[in-house]
Structure 1
């Protein structure tokens, strides 16, 4: 079993991923939507790949969790209690603030807001209360596939099964065709290499089928290279290398810095509330002719404050309540789950 330090580093990586996504949205994405006159934003583009780091972490943690559960209902309770309560609060808060303050092109009606509470509303063509929720649909689809493998006793074959799916997708692409959009979403093909990489890292971390895991990691890298530009591919390789150095080798000790670990603790809540609420704050500063950077700093501080209140006021109390009433619920030791 790996040391506590390495698992702390895993939490810190989650915090860095959240921070990267926030910077991407406040600088690069906001500029694309509404404009940041005279402000350099291109440097923040790389932050969008924080989502890919989240997917690697999910592959690692979900595979870890399923290897520890005794009954299928254990996993369901684990996921629902972790994801939904704080998400429902984020949906309600974001909908109310955007409805009152306004945010051009990002408002939704009350029916859509209620449908957002499902978390898989995207499958019905219902708009998001906050655009960041698209990744939750991807995550849920990954959970469904992993849960299915668990039910049929195929969990240990996950690497091979996903490898077959990825190779089939590449063959179709190289033949000049594309997977149907529905199948592309159902199989989460654009992101499957990252989830699979997380599973491989778990097996390497545990010393299980290490050679096979490294071969699958190489395949994941090749597929990423086929599907992305050179610069995007380089960023994804850097993310995978960083994960390997931090979790497998324990070579990034600076990640145990408390502020980074704290960011990891509140990362899920921060991810849920930072975008549209932050945009509202930034637009308010622009409307008053105040410095845009000051608006982004204010948005960041406000998002961190709200995320902290959500984590310690909703997420963690709910988990403690579930622990007390459902002692068999699987919790990954020494690291939070998303």
Structure 2
């Protein structure tokens, strides 16, 4: 199936990023002692800000959805190159910009050491014993682990079984509710990735009883995990994160994706959708440490909402600039680099002697099975 641009998906990603930004600027920043002022958005606004971090949950569903729509027919090297081009150049720029700001304005997050900066280039600095320059980078390890498993299916010539693999993971997680499995750092968001894969298959070939049952299972496991996380966050931060609200947000994400699989939703046209969707990634990477540092140093306590609005608009504008210049204008550079450093070396090694067959078998097996 050819890649398609779903405008509702781009809007959903952007709104999820705004929810995370709302959480950091209007709740987490003051609670963690980073901002010198408190923000009052009214009862409903404060509640929304406190639970804005749940926008990350939507990101993971989107990730599973996007990968399942585009992965079929790709060689191992092509898949790795596309993930590299999409993630690493923008991460490197945004991480470097964050490191620069935290070095010039070391309070409250910096300064950044040379070793920490170099380790963060890998996107997983914890492996080298260094902390993340920005805490929001924690999601990247989950994404990379998910991509690694999809990559393994491609190498094995079994990418057409991605949906079956997602269902097996869901069954294992459901069984693991009675074991420590669900408390591991890399499995606590997996029902969301699996749900994204299932929704993509629904989008491609329609509903089936197995998909309905699997999505109900995914929702059930996701609800258990999100309620657990709400309770853990409440205990850690000393402020109640309502598990009921967290559960309803999770249900809303699933309902939204169900609605989005309809033909009318697929044809929906929204203004500037592609630009907003592409800006989501740099927006997520830039907004936290840079935004909170600017607010901590320059925002007058008498005008908190005006200051937050100004910084938010500036970060959104900067994200759009990153997309226009760094991603689009330099796209040929990143494509060349990805082919040179990622695609060709991987395909030269793997496709010469793939496990379980010849070079052509991987491509033949990478066809959809309905």
Normalising by structure 1, report the TM-score. 0.84
The equivalent of 2:314 in structure 1 is: 302
CA shift digits 1:278-334 (9 cap, x unpaired): 101211234x444111211121111012111211111123334456896xx9xxxxx
Q: Quickly say closer, same or farther: Cα 1:318–1:209, change in 2 above 3 A.
A: farther
Structure 1 distance, partners of 2:138, 2:65, is: 20
Q: Quickly say closer, same or farther: Cα 1:242–1:208, change in 2 above 3 A.
A: closer
The equivalent of 2:200 in structure 1 is: 202
User: RMSD over aligned Cα, in angstroms?
Assistant: 2.6
Give the one of 38, 47, 51 matched to 1:46.
51
CA shift digits 1:97-129 (9 cap, x unpaired): 111112324543221111101012233442111
Structure 2 alignment gaps of length 5 or more: 228-242, 344-370
Which structure 2 residues correspond to residues 251-330 of structure 1 after superposition, within 5 A? 251=265, 256-259=269-272, 261-286=274-299, 288-321=300-333
Structure 1 alignment gaps of length 5 or more: 330-338
C-alpha deviation, 1:259, in angstroms? 4.9
The equivalent of 2:26 in structure 1 is: 27
Contact 1:82 1:319 in 2 (8 A): no
CA shift digits 1:194-224 (9 cap, x unpaired): 1001100111011167332222111101112
Which structure 2 residues correspond to residues 70-89 of structure 1 after superposition, within 5 A? 71-89=75-93
Larger radius of gyration: 2
CA shift digits 1:233-281 (9 cap, x unpaired): 211110111122234453498x743255432121111111111111012
Normalising by structure 2, report the TM-score. 0.77
Q: Quickly say closer, same or farther: Cα 1:19–1:68, change in 2 above 3 A.
A: farther
Aligned length: 317
Q: Quickly say closer, same or farther: Cα 1:259–1:109, change in 2 above 3 A.
A: same
Structure 1 distance, partners of 2:140, 2:322, is: 18
Contact 2:123 2:137 in 1 (8 A): yes
Contact 1:200 1:213 in 2 (8 A): yes
Structure 2 distance, partners of 1:125, 1:251, is: 45
The equivalent of 1:250 in structure 2 is: 264
CA shift digits 1:57-109 (9 cap, x unpaired): 1101112221131x211111111111111111111110111111123245432
Which structure 2 residues correspond to residues 103-122 of structure 1 after superposition, within 5 A? 103-105=107-109, 107-122=111-126
The equivalent of 2:248 in structure 1 is: 234
Q: Quickly say closer, same or farther: Cα 1:278–1:153, change in 2 above 3 A.
A: same
Structure 2 distance, partners of 1:124, 1:276, is: 21
Q: Which moved more, 1:202-211 or 1:232-241?
A: 202-211
